[in-house]
Chains A and B, each alone.
Chain A
Amino acid sequence: MLEVHHVTKNYQSFTALKEVDLQFDHGIYGLLAPNGAGKTTLMKMLVTLTFPSDGEITYNHENIVDLGEEYRDILGYLPQDFGYYKSYTAEKYLMYIAALKGLDKTKAKLRIKELLELVGLQDVGRKKLKKFSGGMIQRVGVCQALLNDPKVLILDEPTAGLDPKERARFKRLLSTLARDRIILLSTHIVSDIESIAKEIIMIKDKRVLYKKNQEELRSLLEGKLFEAIIPFEDVEAYHSKFSVLSEKQEKNGIKVRFVSEQKGAWNEVEPSLEDVFLYVYEEETDLSEDRKHD
């Protein structure tokens, strides 16, 4: 069990995260928050690349910094900007990381073959990484994180740069992995974690706003989400009256999807995770737009 106890992280005078409390059991946890919310900061603390300014992080009740080598032994991490050696082949790079993870050479060879197949890179194992596309590199990154069959897997935007087919493959891979380990992944793409995440964590104003399962999150908007087709002139009015989550051009007007506390003559619709995300972080987008208008 991985636990974050009251963690605050300051960068000089800037506070990136404040009094964060979290618990992770096995299963997939999705970290869903907009740019700059502190996802990477939280993950870097969870992998001991940086340390909390206050509070502590424990694994099975021991501080992860004190555990040191022991903790890193069960850890897999994919950084947001995944770095590699350009002149290495995929296999050579993975052999190198496997050695640093203390894997036995013959075991590592087998494991690498297995993993490259798992992410569909079996044919390019001998190719130099500088010839790889962005999405292929990202998949090599996933491989290196999985080398030591980690109990704690931290993935910082693992699906960035993957095409829809690879996304789907990755999603399947994650759900098979999740059975007996902790997986924490950050993303802005709601569909990446929809249906597979056990719980979704949302960070807002430097704090954890929600840590709930998808049902609970969707129920936040239950009975408040509507759709209506309105003439173009009315759009402004809707924007000022309601939280409009999306709008779509239709033949006979514009279809708006919005949140309203009172029921009206509109079509009530089932909220999706995306709706919740848009609604929760709506103010921030509004603010930035206000600034643009100024």
Chain B
Amino acid sequence: MKDRERIPFPNDREMKNQVSGIIEGGLEQQEGFLMSIHTLLKKVGFQHIFRDATEILFTLLISGLTLIGFVILTSTWVSWNDVNLYAAIFTTSPLLYGVFVYFFFIQKQTNPAFDVEMVCKYNVHVLAAVRMLAFSLLTIVLNGIALIALSVQTDIHLLFALLLSFISLFICSSMFLYIQHAPIRKLSPISVMVGWVVLNLALYSIAGAGYEAVILSIPIYVYLIIAVLTGYVYIKQVMKFLQKPKGVPLC
């Protein structure tokens, strides 16, 4: 026992140096979220990230027209004040985003230049982070406009409606992004969309007035907290695309 070499106990300075060395070595330089997005926009450029901007705008126009047509058509036989508007907002807010994901993310994998693009430094997955974010911003803006227009005509509480719309958008879009990395790739955004609508309709029809009462009884700051939380989860999911796609089963 005595022969065993004594290991000198490190002093404070040594310990500090060692610890910071280990931390620096272990933590790979991980750019912040906004910084990464900024770098991407600067390096690759908006026009290349949104190579298909005209198609996106066209799809937006078509879905906008469809929606307006739907509203005009249904408003002739349903008076809007009779419908539970909050439930409707909660259910329909993520749909536009779903359309974007379906047409402009999944399609990418069948695009002719996929193999070439996928092998580039900033590949489809990295660019997806920017695209997804832009799509959600666009959806938020458009939903916002729709809700403001609605608040002029009906007596909904605008802030409350906006919060509901954010929450459902973040929940759904986190789901959309999650399934991109999920082990079962058979799940498509369509199934998320349909699932979301069906779930809400089911809840609404089973719980009926109770559903509405529950939604209305929860104080607004709780919704605010939920909105922030779901927003955080969503950003985390977007971040996944910026990071190394380890073990992402693509083909």
**Bind each other:** yes
Alpha-carbon distance between A47 and B118 when the two chains are bound, in angstroms: 9
Chain B residues, Cβ within 8 Å of A48 = 119
B45 contacts the other chain (Cβ, under 8 Å)? yes
B48 at interface by CB-CB < 8 Å: yes
Instruction: Please count how many residues in chain B sit with their CB below 8 Å of the partner chain's CB atoms.
Output: 28
Does B120 count as interface, using CB distance less than 8 angstroms? yes
Give which listed residue, A67, A69, A82, contacts B116 with CB less than 8 A. A82
Assess the A72–B123 pair: CB atoms within 8 A.
yes
Give the residues in chain B near A141, CB-CB below 8 Å: 116
Q: How far apart are A57's CB and chain B's nearest CB, in angstroms? A: 13
Which label, helix, strand, loop or mixed, suits the secondary structure of the B interface?
A: loop
Contact of B120 among A65, A84, A101 (CB under 8 A): A101
Q: Which residue in chain A gives the minimum CB-CB distance to B111?
A: A83
Given contacts A50-B250, A99-B44, contact A69 B244 (CB under 8 A): yes
A47 touches B121 (CB 8 A): no
A96 to B251, CA, bound (A): 24
Interface residue? A287 (CB, 8 A) = no
Within 8 A of B (CB), among A59-96: 65-69, 72-73, 75, 77, 79, 81-85, 96
Give the distance in Å from the alpha carbon of A121 to the alpha carbon of B15 in the complex: 62
- Evaluate whether A85 and B112 lie within 8 angstroms (CB atoms) in the complex, with A96-B48, A99-B48 already known: yes
Q: Is the CB of B121 within 8 A of A97?
A: no
Task: Mark interface residues in B39-75 (1 if CB within 8 Å of A CB, else 0).
Answer: 0000111001001000000000000000000000000
Residues of B within 8 A of A134 (CB): none
Q: A100-B121, A102-B44 are in contact. Are A69 and B126 (CB under 8 A)?
A: yes
16 additional A-B pairs beyond A44-B251, A100-B121, beta carbons within 8 Å, are A49-B119, A50-B251, A51-B247, A51-B249, A65-B247, A68-B244, A68-B246, A69-B244, A72-B119, A83-B114, A84-B113, A96-B51, A97-B116, A99-B45, A99-B122, A100-B122
